[in-house]
Chain A
Amino acid sequence: MSKRSIVPFGPQHPVLPEPIHLDLALEDEKVVEAIPSIGFVHRGLEKLVEKKDFNEYVYVAERICGICSFMHGMGYCESVENIMEVEIPPRAKYLRTIWCEMSRIHSHLLWLGLLADAFGFESLFMETWRMREKVLDMFEYSTGGRVIFSVNKIGGQRKDMDNDMIREFLSVFADMERDLKELVKTFLNNSAVNSRLRDVGFLTKQQAFDLGAVGPFMRSSGISRDTRKLGYAAYPFLDFEPITSDVGDCYARTDVRIREIFQSIDLIRQAAAKIPNGEVSVPVKGFPQGEYFMRVEQPRGEAIYYVKANGTKFLDRVRVRTPTFANLPGMLETMKGCQLADVPILILTIDPCISCTER
């Protein structure tokens, strides 16, 4: 009979940019169970709603995470706008969509770089992040920030993009698309990369459903659900379908995210072609009263923003259910029966954002 041992993994580990700890129960080199621990850097941002009024809280929401800061701010704003029945101008909807998709591209490129770094492919890591840098430059050009943009407000956007800027961005994305097609050949075809990703960490469609998985992690297991189809921002006016794979292994998760980058570039093109002229915000008067569950498709999957308001400037409750939080049970399932050496890759392929989880 194999000897069972417990190996602590994290919270500090070369492949983990943020802290999560796992107790891995092993039989020889095989993982039979994994028990997670989070909460190393919990910041109590939901609790902060008691001290910041509902307009100021936009800035707090943006600081939940540096990668999806735009979407956190937007998700919070949309939930308050739904409570207050505020209709933002059409141009603001398109701007939100463009910045959302730019966030998705930058997040997926960041993840691809981290993945390359995890299996020791340094040049691939650098090439991927070099490409990501262009997206950050576009963020800086259009918003003034590379991490926190502060362009969302309740009632619309604080900043606009002029048509020259949008044309310039489209040209950058055209170059990026061409370069990316070359780059992803390595991720998808290189034998060394494939040996680390293929047939590793399976999650079946049923398991993904039962364990409440979301985002590319879920879509890689064959579930065709994308929260953008709910119809927030300008997504109802754009043509796209959720990208899926039926395989459910680490390779499928990589493949789905890569295809989502190309899809995001296409969505930006569609939005740029349709963006109307006009105002980017409307004045909002009064205080919110009521509650709303807003769902947004972040790069890592569906995020939930629950806002409960009492008619004063301070809200009763803001709750953010982040995609990584929802994907942790699925991640634990993929580890059952895997080899210890595969654990870092398995953790990475859910694209964990502990910063979001530790809101």
Chain B
Amino acid sequence: MPENIIIPISSEVLLEEVLKMKGGGCRLVQICATRIPDGYELSYSFGKDFDLYTLRFNIGEEVEIPSISGIYPASFLYENEIHDLFGVPIKMISLDYKGGLYRTEKKTPFK
């Protein structure tokens, strides 16, 4: 049975852990944010063959995190999405739409 593991980390070691995933031959599967009472829970999922590894950490409101687009170029869409829809501040995205990826009639981020 393929593995489906959630790995708790701290936001400070995000780039380090993502580099380990890259070094281990994993592909980026998805990034998502979930609202929690004092901020956001972030999940970065990586796949190797059929195994799924998800790096998980919480951050407070207005806490800025680094982009992983320098390591996984395809992450820019996910990062712009969680910035636009949830308001998670992310620095150094390779292609930063600065809130313009989603052109919703309702003001984003959705609170």
> Which A residues are closer than 8 A to B by beta carbons?
35, 37-40, 42, 44, 47, 209-212, 225, 227, 229-231, 291-293, 295, 302, 304, 306, 308, 316-317, 319, 321, 325-326, 328-330
Chain A residue numbers with a CB within 8 Å of B4 are 292-293
User: Looking across the interface, which residue of chain B has its beta carbon closest to that of A44?
Assistant: B110
Residue contact B34 to A316, C-beta cutoff 8 Å: yes
Chain A residue numbers with a CB within 8 Å of B101 are 37-39
B63 interface residue, CB < 8 Å from A? Answer: no
Residue contact B103 to A326, C-beta cutoff 8 Å: no
A to B CB contacts below 8 Å, 19 in the list: A35-B95, A37-B101, A38-B101, A42-B104, A44-B104, A44-B106, A210-B73, A212-B27, A225-B49, A230-B50, A231-B1, A291-B6, A292-B4, A295-B52, A304-B29, A306-B43, A316-B34, A321-B32, A329-B76
Residue contact B29 to A212, C-beta cutoff 8 Å: yes
B45 interface residue, CB < 8 Å from A? Answer: yes
Chain B residue numbers with a CB within 8 Å of A40 are 103
- Chain A proximity mask over B63-100: 1 for CB below 8 Å, otherwise 0: 00000000011101100000010000000000101001
Residue contact A211 to B73, C-beta cutoff 8 Å: yes
Bound together, the chains give a CA A248 to CA B32 distance in angstroms of 29
Number of A-B contacts (CB under 8 A): 74
Chain A residue numbers with a CB within 8 Å of B29 are 212, 302, 304, 321, 326
Chain B residue numbers with a CB within 8 Å of A210 are 27, 72-74
Residue contact A39 to B103, C-beta cutoff 8 Å: yes
* Chain A interface SS verdict (over half): mixed
Residue contact A304 to B45, C-beta cutoff 8 Å: yes
Bound together, the chains give a CA A304 to CA B30 distance in angstroms of 8
Residue contact A230 to B32, C-beta cutoff 8 Å: no
Bound together, the chains give a CA A212 to CA B74 distance in angstroms of 7
> Which B residues are closer than 8 A to A by beta carbons?
1-2, 4, 6, 27-30, 32, 34-35, 43, 45, 49-50, 52, 54, 72-74, 76-77, 84, 95, 97, 100-104, 106, 110
Task: Select which of A44, A209, A317 is within 8 A of B27 by beta carbon.
Answer: A209
Task: Select which of B6, B73, B84, B100 is within 8 A of A329 by beta carbon.
Answer: B73
Chain B residue numbers with a CB within 8 Å of A330 are 74
Task: Select which of A39, A212, A227, A321 is within 8 A of B102 by beta carbon.
Answer: A39
**Shortest Cβ gap from B105 to chain A (Å):** 9
Task: Select which of A231, A302, A317 is within 8 A of B34 by beta carbon.
Answer: A317
**Shortest Cβ gap from A336 to chain B (Å):** 13
**Shortest Cβ gap from A20 to chain B (Å):** 12
Chain B residue numbers with a CB within 8 Å of A229 are 50
Bound together, the chains give a CA A136 to CA B59 distance in angstroms of 47
Which 8 A-B pairs give the minimum distances between C-beta atoms?
Answer: A39-B102, A329-B74, A321-B30, A212-B74, A317-B34, A319-B32, A39-B103, A211-B74
Chain A residue numbers with a CB within 8 Å of B97 are 37
Bound together, the chains give a CA A225 to CA B100 distance in angstroms of 34
Chain A residue numbers with a CB within 8 Å of B73 are 210-211, 329
Residue contact B74 to A326, C-beta cutoff 8 Å: yes
Chain B residue numbers with a CB within 8 Å of A328 are 77
Chain B residue numbers with a CB within 8 Å of A319 are 30, 32, 34
Bound together, the chains give a CA A209 to CA B46 distance in angstroms of 12
Chain B residue numbers with a CB within 8 Å of A302 are 29
Residue contact A39 to B32, C-beta cutoff 8 Å: no
**Shortest Cβ gap from B100 to chain A (Å):** 8
Chain B residue numbers with a CB within 8 Å of A35 are 95
**Given A212-B72, A295-B52, A325-B77, A38–B32 Cβ distance below 8 Å?**
no
Bound together, the chains give a CA A4 to CA B101 distance in angstroms of 24
